[in-house]
C-alpha cells in the first residue's frame, strides 16, 4: 500500500527545519549505504549523528505522532531517526530495495524496515527531475509532493530517485517498524479504521454498530500485533 500523507509539516515548520539543516555540514550520501546501494547512489546527506540531524529528526517524529492519517496507516512500533538528503543536478539513486534491518548506534535504535517514508522539504517547482519512482504489484508510481507532505510505501518495494536536472531536491527519509508486519493485514486495518471513522461521523461513536465494528478492529489488532 502506498499512501500520500499531506501536511505532516506546515510551511512555517518546513522553513524552520530547512534553516536548521541547510546551515549544517553535509557529507557524501554513501556514508550510510549498503554495498548494493553504494553502486547506485549519488547525493549528499546530513551526518546522522550531527546535532542538526538529531534535532530536526526529533521534530519530524513529534509531528508524525500528531498526524492521525500516518498513525492509522503505519501503526508504528518504532520510527527510525529521520535522515536527510539533497540531490543537485546530475544526482540520483538507481533501482534498489531498502535493507531489511537498520541499526542506529548513536540513538540505540534497531528496527525491521516494514515501511519506507520520504518527507519532501522543498516544493516541486524548486527542481526538475528527482521523482521518487516506486514499483509494486499495481505498476510504476512517480511521486513528487509539496514541501511538508510525506509518501509512505512498503520497504520491500523496488524504488529509485530519478536524476535531478536542475535545482535541488531536499527531503527527509526514514523507515518504520510497524506493529503489524504484514502489509495486507496493515492495509485491511487501515481501511477498517477509515470506514469506522466515516460511519461514526453520521451515526455517532456510541452507536451499537460502531461499537461492534470498533471492537472487531481492536480484536484484529490484538490478534496480529507484534510488540
Question: Domain-by-domain residue ranges, the chain?
Answer: 3-178, 183-224
Decide if pLDDT at 7 tops 60. Answer: yes
The domain defined by 3-178 carries CATH number 2.60.120.620:
yes
Cell output for 98: 531498502
- pLDDT score for 38: 55
Contact 163, 90 (CB under 8 A): yes
- pLDDT score for 200: 94
- pLDDT score for 33: 54
Decide if pLDDT at 199 tops 70. Answer: yes
- pLDDT score for 120: 98
Q: How confident is the model at residue 205 (pLDDT cuts 50, 70, 90)?
A: confident
Q: At what angle do helices 208-224 and 183-203 cross, to 10 degrees?
A: 160
Report percent pLDDT > 90 for the chain.
86
What is the C-alpha separation between 190 and 100, in angstroms, rounded?
23
Average pLDDT over residues 37-65: 90
Mean per-residue pLDDT over the chain, rounded: 94
Average pLDDT over residues 13-22: 98
Measured CA to CA in angstroms, residue 191 lies from 37, 143, 182, 213, 217 at distances of 34, 22, 14, 12, 10
- pLDDT score for 35: 53
Amino acid at each position: 500500500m502506498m499512501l500520500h500523507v499531506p501536511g505532516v509539516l506546515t510551511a512555517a515548520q518546513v522553513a524552520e527545519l530547512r534553516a536548521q539543516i541547510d546551515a549544517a555540514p553535509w557529507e557524501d550520501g554513501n556514508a550510510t549505504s549498503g554495498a548494493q546501494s553504494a553502486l547506485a547512489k549519488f547525493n549528499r546527506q546530513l551526518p546522522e549523528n550531527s546535532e542538526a540531524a538529531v534535532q530536526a529528526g526529533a521534530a519530524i517524529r513529534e509531528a508524525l505522532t500528531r498526524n492521525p492519517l500516518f498513525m492509522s496507516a503505519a501503526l508504528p512500533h518504532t520510527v527510525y531517526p529521520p535522515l536527510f538528503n539533497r540531490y543537485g543536478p546530475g544526482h540520483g539513486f538507481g533501482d534498489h530495495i531498502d535493507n531489511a534491518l537498520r541499526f542506529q548506534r548513536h540513538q540505540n535504535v534497531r528496527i525491521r524496515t516494514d515501511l519506507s517514508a520520504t518527507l519532501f522539504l522543498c516544493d516541486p517547482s524548486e527542481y526538475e527531475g528527482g521523482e521518487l519512482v516506486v514499483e509494486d504489484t499495481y505498476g510504476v508510481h512517480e511521486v513528487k509532493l509539496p514541501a511538508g507532505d510525506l509518501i509512505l510505501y512498503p520497504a520491500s518495494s523496488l524504488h529509485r530517485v530519478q536524476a535531478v536536472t536542475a535545482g535541488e531536491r531536499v527531503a527527509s527519509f526514514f523507515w518504520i517498524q510497524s506493529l503489524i508486519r504484514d502489509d495486507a493485514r496493515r492495509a485491511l486495518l487501515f481501511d477498517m479504521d477509515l470506514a469506522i471513522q466515516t460511519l461514526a461521523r453520521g451515526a455517532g461513536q456510541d452507536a451499537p454498530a460502531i461499537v461492534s465494528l470498533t471492537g472487531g478492529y481492536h480484536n484484529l489488532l490484538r490478534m496480529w500485533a507484534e510488540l
